[in-house]
Amino acid sequence: MKHKILFYTLLFYVSFSFAQERFESKTFGFSIDIPQGWKLNEYEADVPGNVKLSETEKQNLFKEGYHVYLGYLYKGSFTGLNPKIQFNIALKHEENFDDFKKAVIASAKRINYLDNLKFTVQPTEITVAGIKSMYFAMTYTVEGSNKTIRSISYAIPFKNYMYQINFLDIPSDNDLLTLYSELIKTVKIK
């Protein structure tokens, strides 16, 4: 009997010690793992994560602007140039993936207002959550600063929407590319 109690106690402990927190927007059917040591900021989100809306109510959210801000994760402090992962959603106007791909490429090429902009990965097809998507990466500097910023963007078309995930950081010896690659595998869209 003691062995059974010990076994179930260990099973309970092991199960919960490896549990992963997730960011979830039930409103738009999007979720992703939250890395250990990162914090979630959804205080400024345009729509709280668990609000139930009809399709018409969702569409009306976009009348205010181009995209709806779902929230973001950050490492370190909330302010400054600390690593951030932002989640947005926009209306998708293209009927097929080829037109979507062209629109993403054209949009990426219009980002010419950033200083010292360089694409480290040109817009490329990738699969995210089983959905054919687009991905690109770039570096730039902020006016008045000599720090290089890295931005890695994913555009995922699903039903009427384009889900955007943007990883933003300063490349360093303690690089986060492996973490980003693992996180993108945890995305679920339904």
Phi and psi at residue 25, to the nearest 5°: -110, 100
In one-letter notation, the amino acid at residue 30 is: F
Residue range 135-139: mean pLDDT, rounded:
96
Which three-class secondary structure state does DSSP give residue 150? Answer: strand
The tokens for 4 are 């059974």
Which residues, in sequence order, are CB contacts of 172 under 8 Å at separation 6+? none
Beta bridge partners of 39: 74
Whether pLDDT at 4 is above 50: no
Give percent above pLDDT 90 in the chain. Answer: 53
Find out whether 176 and 152 touch, Cβ atoms under 8 Å.
no
Whether pLDDT at 159 is above 80: yes
The tokens for 45 are 């989100």
Which three-class secondary structure state does DSSP give residue 50? Answer: coil
Which three-class secondary structure state does DSSP give residue 130? Answer: coil
pLDDT of residue 76: 80
The tokens for 51 are 């609000």
pTM of the model: 0.84
CA 37 to centroid of chain Cα atoms: 17
Residue range 89-115: mean pLDDT, rounded:
92
Which residues, in sequence order, are CB contacts of 171 under 8 Å at separation 6+? 139, 148, 150
In one-letter notation, the amino acid at residue 113 is: Y
Of the pLDDT bands very low, low, confident and very high (cuts 50, 70, 90), residue 34 is: very high
Q: What is the pLDDT of residues 60-88, one digit of tens each?
A: 888 877 788 888 899 887 666 789 999 99
